[in-house]
A and B are shown apart, each in its own frame.
Chain A
Amino acid sequence: MNQWTDILDVNDIPKLGARVVRHGSLDIAVFRTADDEVFALEDRCPHRGGPLSQGIVHGRRVACPMHGWNVELDSGCAVAPDQGCAREFPVRVEGGRVWLERAAVGLAAV
């Protein structure tokens, strides 16, 4: 059984925006679309490591603030013709709370 950890309230993330969840040296960008879908990616653009969390979210994509690559939120992969993927993290929303999978984030099981 996967174990999940409660991270934050969906409403703590601005619509069409992101929050950074930090665990040690790992930054995870947790995005929220206009339709309240939530996605989690490592906060590093596959291009040159720019913080995706700081980009403009549109549809189910985010435009990296550094050089404008568009990254698909559901896969973490850059939109063609750019190539490369940011690591994605399993995430789910329940009762208005956002949960990340413990093992994927590097948290010990409880």
Chain B
Amino acid sequence: MDMSTPVGRGPKMKLVMIGNGMAGVRTLEELLKLAPDLYDITVFGAEPHPNYNRILLSPVLAGEQTVDDIVLNPLDWYADHGITLHLGKKVVKIDRSAREVEAEDGTRAGYDRLLLATGSNPFILPVPGADLPGVISFRDIADVDAMIRASSQYRHAVVVGGGLLGLEAANGLMKRGMDVTVVHLAPWLMERQLDEPAARLLQQSLEEKGMRFLLQKQTAELMQGGSGRVAAVKFADGEIIPADLVVMAVGIRPNTELAESTGLHCKRGIVVNDTMQTFDPRIYSIGECAAHRGVAYGLVAPLFEQARVCANHLAHYGIGRYLGSVTSTKLKVTGIDLFSAGDFSGGEGSESILYSDPIGGVYKRLVIKDNKLVGGVMIGDTVDGAWYFSLLRDGKDVSELRDHLMFGQDHCGNLGHQGHNRATTMTDDMEVCGCNGVCKGDIVKAIREKGLFTLEDVRRHTKASASCGSCTGLVEQILAVTAGGDYSDAPKARSVCGCTDYTHEAVRAAIRQNRLLTIPQVMAFMEWRTPNGCASCRPALNYYLISTWPGEAEDDPQSRFINERAHANIQKDGSYSVIPRMWGGQTTPAELRRIADVAEKYAIPSVKVTGGQRIDLLGVKKDDLPKVWADLDMPSGHAYGKALRTVKTCVGSEWCRFGTQDSTQMGIDLEKVFFKMWAPHKVKLAVSGCPRNCAEVAIKDVGIIGVDSGWEIYVGGNGGIRTEVAQFLVKVKTADEVLEYTGAFLQLYREEARYLDRTVHYIERVGLDTVKKKILDDAEGRRALYERLLFALSVERDPWVERAREGKLKHEFETVAA
């Protein structure tokens, strides 16, 4: 069989897609982006509608949105992309040897590649009367139409199945004015997503809305009334309740009928490999019908991830594998907050943290195993759902967070959105993202109009949560409410950026093990997808190279962010700011005089004292920078870099009547030793001479507190978006020990943290215990770390001296006259 149809010559290849739902059409969209002209595409859809957002059927049923609102790809979209669309035509036969499919009405289409996206079918209980008029499922627009029609004519609705779908159907019917009873076989609702206490709370709040429940009830028969329509439900215990409408919502089954009839291997779905290929290499399958590693997913995010991988292979790129997803659940019933993820059932070796407030209607349970969050259930307050889910998905060590884990992410003072933490209670004009000035209404509009589904989409289109990220939880809530809640991410380790699938760790290891010395070498060795990376990966690679091979690797100025290339901070008007270094915050009359002279000579408009005990000259023209540096004749303050910034000190024992140690001198010593240190992110130090802590060491990357008997060292503090209090590392006796322990910690951070992780993020990821083992328990290792840092620093030079005195990279500071 010839699999290699030539690309770009002769007639196009033929791609046929069976199924016109979200996963399938998403695959086409991804494919058209990669290879718009590779295929002639034909789509068969059994429903008479173009692709719509099936997740939003619940709001349509509840009357909160219309069918038009939820259409994702109008008919024009198919026409614009030259796609032949057969609506209302169910494919009944695949002839794999002739490579042709045939629909019920005899329409045929030949294929070179076939994509099965047949989705799933509702499971109908095999009880007598299941085929009566008035008995339906909750799966598509036709079902919703039938329910809406019934609600205007009849009174009694029975929903069989108390899972997510059943409850959403029941809620919608209730909103349409029907009396609704939910029948459920299990002892409590949503037993696959909720534990019993959470389910009881959910039931209680739904009962308050008027819903009725019959639990542990087995449906025996659907009874016919005089009109021929269903009239009652009879249970195994003999009880009979009236029912003019019965909605079956007991589960879904992957729709594999067609695949099985053509002999494709199916087991709990159409079996596919990591590239979404079935056992017939010409046939791919994605979506709810596909079984990947034994799992058929029913949520949007995993399906879109599958779509991306599948499109990549259809486009002959051949990169990317789908590795499975962790999923979470949110209930789309207005007014009820519910979140569930992972394994919440407990079991051996796991422990639960519980919070229960029956009056307030809040219940939370977090399940921890081996110091990792493995599951969670929340009802009544789901603000931190996204945060818990990311902890769970990333498998983060939560032992350090344990004490306040239950109180959520905002517990530590998360700034920038006026303290709002519930998207549903916000009005459209309230600001969500304080960095980029994005209001709730802007986000909702973008989600609706542009058909956004993921946090990444929302960030790209609106910039909300794209800067500091502190409002991510809010944005995710808005997304859940607006676009449908069950979104999630694949559990993969995050790659450096879109240019590669490799993680930061993998890239670092490759650089070390293979002695890679330049960015092009790394990109060639690790098969980067782009010719010279992007603005995300190049600075990271540059840092990894120079920190791994100091003095040998090439420091590439073109791969540095402008501030580190110009050695000054770019300002909003394109001018720069200059902060000279003042060791330990100490200066002299001569330095101050030079600063004053420079400010006047170069007409520098603003002179400001910084928070780090230095002086900032703002509004310097780029061309003037080398001259300013030369005249200042002070060391670079590195206020522009992912590097050692300031070492803040108090006056200490030399002057202060409370001082126990000479904190100023300690600060000067630290700053002189670690001067010129590049790091994954900025690094701030502080030294206080007594526990009154005037230098604010608790919010520094490394904070030193002098006590009568020596020095206490704290690490991982941060005073930024999220205030993080530094954690105690060790107490030492001498100033030399302070230097050695601090240096060892900083080098560990330099060697192991991901680029752009602050020390707090690094410690959160590996755990303070790991850090302690390497710094405290292993004296030899500690000294080796310190030695490596000192060596790296020995090859660095003051960049201002090089540029001001030696004319290095002169072109950077010169404009050309036209």
Contacts and interface: CB of A to CB of B under 8 A. Distances in A.
A17 to B, nearest CB: 5
A46 to B, nearest CB: 15
Interface in A52-100: 54-59, 63, 65-68, 70, 81, 100
Contacts of A17: 557-558
A14 B811 CA distance: 9
Contacts of B572: 48, 66
Interface string A5-45: 10110001111110111110011101000100000000000
B534 A63 contact: yes
B534 A23 contact: no
A65 to B, nearest CB: 4
Contacts of B574: 50-51, 54
Contact of A100 (B557, B558, B818): B818
Given A14-B558, A65-B570, A66-B572, A59 B816 contact: no
B564 to A, nearest CB: 11
Interface in B536-562: 538-539, 557-559, 561-562
Which of B461, B557, B561, B562 is packed against the most chain A CB atoms within 10 Å?
A: B562
Which of A14, A55, A58 is packed against the most chain B CB atoms within 10 Å?
A: A58
B818 A59 contact: no
A22 B816 contact: yes
A56 B561 contact: yes
Nearest to B809: A14
A13 to B, nearest CB: 8
A17 B79 CA distance: 42
A103 interface: no
A19 B815 CA distance: 7
A16 B535 contact: no
Contacts of A58: 530, 532-535, 538
B358 interface: no
Contacts of A26: 818
B611 interface: no
Interface string B793-818: 00000000000000000010001111
Nearest to A16: B558
Interface in B436-471: 450, 460-461, 463
Interface in B363-411: none
A28 B818 CA distance: 9
Contact of B531 (A34, A54, A65): A34
Nearest to B534: A58
A22 B566 contact: no
B535 A107 contact: no
Interface in B569-584: 570, 572, 574
Contact of B815 (A15, A21, A67, A107): A21
Contacts of A68: 535
Contact of B559 (A7, A56, A67): A56
Contact of A22 (B531, B534, B539, B817): B817
Contacts of A67: 463
Contacts of B565: 54
Contacts of B450: 81
Contacts of A30: 816
B107 to A, nearest CB: 36
B479 to A, nearest CB: 16
Interface residues of B, number: 27
A20 B565 CA distance: 15
A8 to B, nearest CB: 5
Given A20-B815, A66-B572, 7 more contacts: A21-B815, A22-B815, A23-B817, A65-B570, A66-B570, A81-B461, A107-B818
Which of A19, A55, A65 is packed against the most chain B CB atoms within 10 Å?
A: A65
Contacts of B461: 81
A17 B811 CA distance: 11
A85 to B, nearest CB: 18
Contacts of B561: 56, 65
A69 to B, nearest CB: 10
Nearest to A30: B816
A62 to B, nearest CB: 9
B348 to A, nearest CB: 47
A23 B557 CA distance: 26
Contacts of A13: 811
A14 B532 CA distance: 14
B550 to A, nearest CB: 23
A50 to B, nearest CB: 7
27 contacts: A7-B818, A8-B816, A12-B816, A16-B532, A16-B558, A17-B558, A19-B816, A21-B816, A21-B817, A22-B815, A23-B818, A28-B818, A34-B531, A34-B532, A54-B565, A54-B566, A56-B538, A56-B539, A56-B561, A56-B562, A58-B532, A58-B534, A58-B535, A58-B538, A59-B532, A63-B534, A81-B450
Given A50-B574, A65-B561, A81-B461, A55 B535 contact: yes
A75 to B, nearest CB: 18
A26 B460 CA distance: 31
Nearest to B560: A56
A54 B562 contact: yes
A56 B557 CA distance: 10
A54 B558 contact: no
Contact of B535 (A7, A14, A22, A56): A56
User: Lowest 7 CB-CB distances: which A-B pairs, in order?
Assistant: A63-B535, A23-B818, A56-B535, A54-B562, A65-B562, A16-B558, A20-B815
A108 to B, nearest CB: 12
A102 B186 CA distance: 80
Given A14-B558, A56-B558, A81 B460 contact: yes
Which of A13, A34, A56, A65 is packed against the most chain B CB atoms within 10 Å?
A: A56
B535 A15 contact: no
Contacts of A28: 818
Nearest to A34: B532
A21 B558 contact: no
Contacts of B558: 14-17, 56-57
Contacts of B530: 58-59
Contact of B570 (A22, A23, A54, A100): A54
Contact of B811 (A12, A50, A56): A12
A20 B621 CA distance: 13
Nearest to A82: B460
A21 B532 contact: no
A32 B329 CA distance: 49
A51 B570 CA distance: 10
Which of B450, B566, B817 is packed against the most chain A CB atoms within 10 Å?
A: B817
Nearest to A56: B535
B535 A105 contact: no
Contacts of A65: 561-562, 570
Interface string B509-549: 00000000000000000000011111100110000000000
Interface string B189-207: 0000000000000000000
Given A34-B531, A56-B558, A19 B811 contact: yes
Which of B535, B538, B817 is packed against the most chain A CB atoms within 10 Å?
A: B535
Contacts of A21: 815-818
A13 B811 CA distance: 8
B449 to A, nearest CB: 12
A34 B530 CA distance: 12
A28 B531 CA distance: 25
A90 to B, nearest CB: 13
